[in-house]
Structure 1
Amino acid sequence: MNAFSTSPVKPLANVTVIELARVLACPFADMILAELGANVIKIEQPGTGDETRSFEPPVGDESAYFFACNRGKQSVTANLKTDAGRRIVRELAAGADIVIENFPVGTLKRYGLDHEVLRTENERLIYVSCTGFGQTGPYAKRKGYDTVFQAMGGLMSLTGERGGGPVKPGLPIADLTSGMWIAIGLLSALNGRSLTGKGCHIDFSMLDGQVSLLTLAAGRYFALNEVPPRLGTEHPGRVPSATFACSDGAFVHITCSDQHWLPLCELLKLDVLAADLDLMTNAGRVARRERVMSALSKAISGWTRTALCEACDAVGVPAGPINDIAEVLADPHVRVRGMVGSFEHPTVGIFGALPLPFKFDGFADPEVVRPPLLGEHTEKVLSERLGYDAQHIAALRRDGAI
């Protein structure tokens, strides 16, 4: 038996999160926490809920968009425009570890639900404010969505074909990476609280998150004063690292370091390139990018995708097929790794889902848990966590507070 046998306990089983958020970035962060074991209570507007419940594509009366980022949570309806609805949030926050919100700057302060108020009632509370541009600065009041942050944060300037215009990635990268940044910040704050006994306020700007991702592009600017151009699938500092068209109309991406150069040349029968000492180093190949890319493209155009990938694997050259979504989800390695799962929903039935990519040895692995129906857990949470009786809950419902 492994010395670190799997525990039935999930690593965040002792953490309670109140989600005052909607759409994607914060719900994605909270879904990560939920499937790592946290008790996530999602506060939603009565009657409508998170607006993504109505987003395309529909699945019966539900939304695949909502399903993708809200698994494993409890849904409680509370009308924040009522005193009773706001009281519910304050009382839940008083017993929680984390509150996460993505309202426009100043909105929750007007509701008496800002971090300063809630932390007076729970000094251990970790409160995250996720906004487009942060709580301070000249853009603080501006509105924005994922693609705006991609544009302003530099990502779109790097994405697109050589000589062409900017292109957005095929996924909402600003939202998804913001969710990851938020999860990292929250886990850091939880550990910090174990050191001080006190919580904190985290001011997270989605634009800040995109600027932090510039990494290598910013490094080239700092080192060379270079504004990186759009290069399609090519890498500005490595040759070859690009996607090549094959004879069957499919594509393969190949990335080589110096130790892979000669095996690739031998595989493709590029004897002249293999004999050229100027091409033995990456710096030499970068300086002669056009010559190298032209020769590789011509040679690879005679191979099928499968044959080329198998041949590269055989000689240790890093290469992979450009898979579409259907191919990814059918890939045998992806399947063996358990990266295609499902949940059973009470109105939709069995629906596919992508599990969190963690395999723990020492804790229970994350598991796919279905997303909640709107307000599904309202009565349970109000009675079990706040001690409300049936008459009180009925009155709240009658008054439109839940």
Structure 2
Amino acid sequence: MSGPLEGLTVLDLSRVLAGPWATQVLADFGAKVWKVERPKKGDDTRHWGESLKNIRQKQGCLESEYIESEYGDDISAYYLCANRGKQSLTVDITNESGQNIIKQLALKADIFVENFKVGNLAKYGLDYPSLSKLNPKLVYCSITGFGQTGEYANQAGYDAMIQASAGLMSVTGEKDGEPQKVGVAVSDLMTGMYAVSGILAAIYHRDKTGKGQYIDLALFDTQVGWLANQSMDYLMTGEIPIKQGTVHPSIVPYQTVESANGKFMLAVGNDSQFKKCMEVLGLNKLATDEKFRTNNVRIKNHDELIELMTQVLKSNSSEYWVKKLSKEKIPCGSINNIKQVFEHPQIKARNTKISIKHPNLGDIPQVANPIKFSDTPIQYEKAAPILGEDSESILKNELDYTHLEIEELKRLGII
């Protein structure tokens, strides 16, 4: 069965995470994705962490007919997480012949995604004004650190610095501790997700008007955009939000709480849940106490409430309380490490962990896309590609290059 985006073609010149995450989602949804990488080197993330060739060799899991790619064969877990479902084509875009290949592919593409520094692709004739003349229906998405305009436009942007400069680190960490970055590159990932929604909106508009358009997307804008309630609280009150650890600034009790053997997360979202929670803890009187009866007063009396709850919670284990509270439909959960996450029964129930055959690494685990389509379920048919794995087939089948022309491009180092 075909995916919902079958028939759309993406020309992907992005690398690292934000752009590749977006194009992997589009690939999951059924779009054809041509991932353009640098000859011999490929996407930077191919080399981030120990080579999986070495790891799988130690595990005895390498395929018996291992393909020693003439384009290079480094691949890492980081690369695998954001590049499944794509076809890899190596092209030297600094060379005129390489630029011509990209232009020919752009004529056949619906979507173009790139994350070069501002103005870099213009010198190669691969910017939006140039390519839109060749293909007016092209939806072109540029992802940068700070966008195409403003005094910071030419500054490079990576996830960690964006988390810092766009405010996320200032509200992350313990109240009396140092600012912390989130343990996953969330600024990159959210930018990738905004890219998907922006691209699909532009495709919908194109289908109505016949005209493509340019999407200017910045990590900084994205991070500021999803500060959500934190930024709105500041804009409305003038009060600067602070780090509060796991404590929610607007809901109480909504944080990690102590038990007899550690901590667990308690997320009481409304007054009726609070009443049930107090019943489970045997603190029924607190549910009607004027200091705690509603969320707004609980915020003012946060410390006193948590102290009273902790006295009871420390009488038993986290496991005991999570089971007892969950039975009453009170949101709570264990603080799991990644191993425990993949042992969670919902992983199996939801088919969250899947396996894809890789030509060199054998069957490799993957985390499934969380979206479950009823009529067009996602088909996971292609693992993240070997560098240049599809170069010849794309040039031959899509652009009608001959064998001799392809060999000459290889000789010259253009592919």
Q: TM-score range by the shorter chain?
A: over 0.9
Matched residue, 2:342: 329
Name the CA distance, whole Å, in 2 between partners of 1:199 and 1:297. 58
Q: Does 1:31 align with 2:44?
A: no
Q: What letter corresponds to residue 54 of structure 1 in structure 2? A: H
Name the CA distance, whole Å, in 2 between partners of 1:301 and 1:160. 24
Q: What letter corresponds to residue 240 of structure 2 in structure 1? A: V
Name the CA distance, whole Å, in 2 between partners of 1:341 and 1:37. 17
Query: How far off is 1:316 after superposition?
Result: 2.3
Deviations 1:171-221 (A, max 9, x none): 011111111011111111110101110100101111001011011012211
Q: What letter corresponds to residue 104 of structure 2 in structure 1? A: E
Name the CA distance, whole Å, in 1 between partners of 2:380 and 2:260. 41
Name the CA distance, whole Å, in 2 between partners of 1:321 and 1:219. 30
Deviations 1:330-369 (A, max 9, x none): 1111211011112121221222110111111122334363
Q: Does 1:348 align with 2:361?
A: yes
Deviations 1:77-120 (A, max 9, x none): 11111111110000000110011000011110011110110010
Residues 263 and 315 of structure 1 are in contact (CA less than 8 Å); yes or no, is this contact kept in structure 2? yes
Aligned match for 2:321, one of 308, 317, 322: 308
Matched residue, 1:161: 174
Q: Does 1:380 align with 2:398?
A: no
Residues 356 and 380 of structure 2 are in contact (CA less than 8 Å); yes or no, is this contact kept in structure 1? no
Name the CA distance, whole Å, in 2 between partners of 1:275 and 1:203. 52
Matched residue, 2:196: 183
SS at match of 1:277: coil
Query: Are residues 62 and 362 of structure 1, via their aligned partners in 2, closer, same or farther at CA, if it must alter by over 3 Å?
Result: same
Residues 248 and 304 of structure 1 are in contact (CA less than 8 Å); yes or no, is this contact kept in structure 2? yes
Deviates more, 1:150-159 or 1:221-230: 221-230
Residues 275 and 284 of structure 2 are in contact (CA less than 8 Å); yes or no, is this contact kept in structure 1? no
Once superposed, which parts of structure 1, at least 4 consecutive aligned residues long, lie more than 4 Å away? none
SS at match of 1:229: coil
Which runs of structure 2 are paired with 1:254-269 in the superposition (5 Å)? 254-269=267-282
Matched residue, 1:21: 14
Aligned residue pairs: how many?
A: 395
SS at match of 1:62: coil
Name the CA distance, whole Å, in 2 between partners of 1:106 and 1:275. 62
Deviations 1:265-296 (A, max 9, x none): 12112244234133110011011011011112
Matched residue, 2:310: 297
Matched residue, 1:41: 34
Matched residue, 2:44: 51
Query: How far off is 1:328 after superposition?
Result: 1.1
Residues 358 and 382 of structure 2 are in contact (CA less than 8 Å); yes or no, is this contact kept in structure 1? no
Q: Does 1:71 align with 2:84?
A: yes
TM-score by length of 1: 0.95
Residues 115 and 143 of structure 2 are in contact (CA less than 8 Å); yes or no, is this contact kept in structure 1? yes
Residues 277 and 325 of structure 2 are in contact (CA less than 8 Å); yes or no, is this contact kept in structure 1? yes
Unaligned runs of 5+ in 1: 1-7
Q: What letter corresponds to residue 259 of structure 1 in structure 2? A: S
Matched residue, 2:63: none
Name the CA distance, whole Å, in 2 between partners of 1:363 and 1:256. 34
Residues 14 and 114 of structure 2 are in contact (CA less than 8 Å); yes or no, is this contact kept in structure 1? yes
Aligned match for 2:108, one of 69, 92, 95: 95
Matched residue, 2:408: 395
Residues 253 and 322 of structure 1 are in contact (CA less than 8 Å); yes or no, is this contact kept in structure 2? no
Deviations 1:307-331 (A, max 9, x none): 1111112222111111111111111
Name the CA distance, whole Å, in 2 between partners of 1:157 and 1:144. 18
Matched residue, 1:5: none
SS at match of 1:307: helix
Matched residue, 2:125: 112
Residues 162 and 220 of structure 2 are in contact (CA less than 8 Å); yes or no, is this contact kept in structure 1? yes
Name the CA distance, whole Å, in 2 between partners of 1:47 and 1:367. 27
Q: Does 1:137 align with 2:162?
A: no
Matched residue, 1:3: none
Residues 353 and 368 of structure 1 are in contact (CA less than 8 Å); yes or no, is this contact kept in structure 2? no
Query: Are residues 393 and 368 of structure 1, via their aligned partners in 2, closer, same or farther at CA, if it must alter by over 3 Å?
Result: closer
Deviates more, 1:147-156 or 1:217-226: 217-226
Name the CA distance, whole Å, in 2 between partners of 1:178 and 1:9. 27
Name the CA distance, whole Å, in 1 between partners of 2:311 and 2:124. 64
The root-mean-square deviation of aligned C-alpha atoms, in Å, is 1.3
Deviations 1:39-67 (A, max 9, x none): 00001111111111111143125200000
Residues 341 and 368 of structure 1 are in contact (CA less than 8 Å); yes or no, is this contact kept in structure 2? no
TM-score by length of 2: 0.93
Unaligned runs of 5+ in 2: 54-73
Matched residue, 2:64: none
Matched residue, 1:85: 98
Name the CA distance, whole Å, in 1 between partners of 2:373 and 2:279. 41
Matched residue, 2:257: 244
Matched residue, 2:186: 173
Query: How far off is 1:162 after superposition?
Result: 1.2
Query: Are residues 366 and 181 of structure 1, via their aligned partners in 2, closer, same or farther at CA, if it must alter by over 3 Å?
Result: farther
Deviations 1:112-145 (A, max 9, x none): 1101100100000011111000111010011121
Deviates more, 1:296-305 or 1:280-289: 296-305
Matched residue, 1:216: 229
Matched residue, 2:332: 319
Name the CA distance, whole Å, in 1 between partners of 2:222 and 2:167. 11
Residues 253 and 266 of structure 2 are in contact (CA less than 8 Å); yes or no, is this contact kept in structure 1? no
